[in-house]
Structure 1
Amino acid sequence: MTGRDTEPRQTPADVEAEIDREQRRLAQTLDELAVRARPRNIARRQITRVRERGARIADEARALVVGGGAVRVESHAVEPEEGSILLRGDEEVVTTYQSRRPLPPEALILIAGVGTAIAVGVVAWAVRRRR
């Protein structure tokens, strides 16, 4: 056996520095988890998810009204950052749509009419409720 086989591979200072690095990394991870677990941040993520789903549903409804005017080009899952913890329901799917052609005037008139009817209904309901 040579003297090299019995020598420590790391000095105590190296081991201590490695422990300090790991403790800082763990503290940073815990801080990130604490931020993600705040009720306000959870609610913000859920609202964003609802908006995205609503936009997707609106795009698909528009495609049905127009007769296939919007086409789904691609859908793919977004990978989380390395080292992050994926909570249940946090997976994200990105879908890309492409419009084949602009909306015809009839569809625009229909959309404007439905929007106007909804607006008038909401105003009438609000006025009736005040009385």
Structure 2
Amino acid sequence: MSSSDTIEPRQTPAEIQAEIDREQRRFAETLDALEEAARPGNIARRQLGKARERGARLVDEARALVLGGGAVRLESRLVEPEEGTIVVKGDEEVITTYQSRSQLPPEAIILAAGVGTVVAVGAVAWAVRRKRK
């Protein structure tokens, strides 16, 4: 048998063991990440954050509709998760960009001031009337 006929292993046993150790560490990190993501408190915190974001987005859009000159949505896009992360159903994140059109129109400021004055006068009148009784 010549030296060209012998089959040499591609990896040494030490290299195979090092690869096994790396894969075990990566697997353990993945399990730790899953455990962290699956904790009820973390799930609740994520869902609360999403609800707040959606509520803020709805308020901004309602304000723009009511005032006619508020924030305008420019774009919404889905954010891709980082490589190696585990995405739980419903964990995708939407980023929305808004831009302010202009300042409030003078009519809206006058209307808000008038409503505020009426409410303040009404509260004072109610308090005075209640005190007399």
TM range (shorter): 0.7 to 0.9
* 1:17 Cα offset (Å): 0.2
1:65 corresponds to which residue?
Answer: 66
Structure 1 residues 69 and 4: CA distance shift in structure 2, 3 A: farther
* 1:87 Cα offset (Å): 1.1
Task: Extract structure 1 runs of 4+ deviating beyond 6 A.
Answer: none
Between 39-48 and 77-86, the greater mean CA deviation after superposition: 77-86
What is the CA deviation profile of residues 62-112 of structure 1, one whole-angstrom value per residue up to 9, with x for unaligned ones?
Answer: 1101114321112111111111221111111100000110123543517x7
Alpha-carbon distance between aligned partners in 2 of 1:4 and 1:25, rounded to the nearest angstrom:
38
Would you say how many aligned residue pairs link Structure 1 and Structure 2?
115
Runs of 5+ consecutive residues of structure 2 not aligned to the other structure: 124-133
Runs of 5+ consecutive residues of structure 1 not aligned to the other structure: 121-131
2:35 corresponds to which residue?
Answer: 34
The Cα RMSD (Å) is 2.4
Between 91-100 and 3-12, the greater mean CA deviation after superposition: 3-12
Give the fraction of aligned pairs with identical amino acids, expressed as a percent.
66
1:92 corresponds to which residue?
Answer: 93
TM-score (norm 2): 0.76
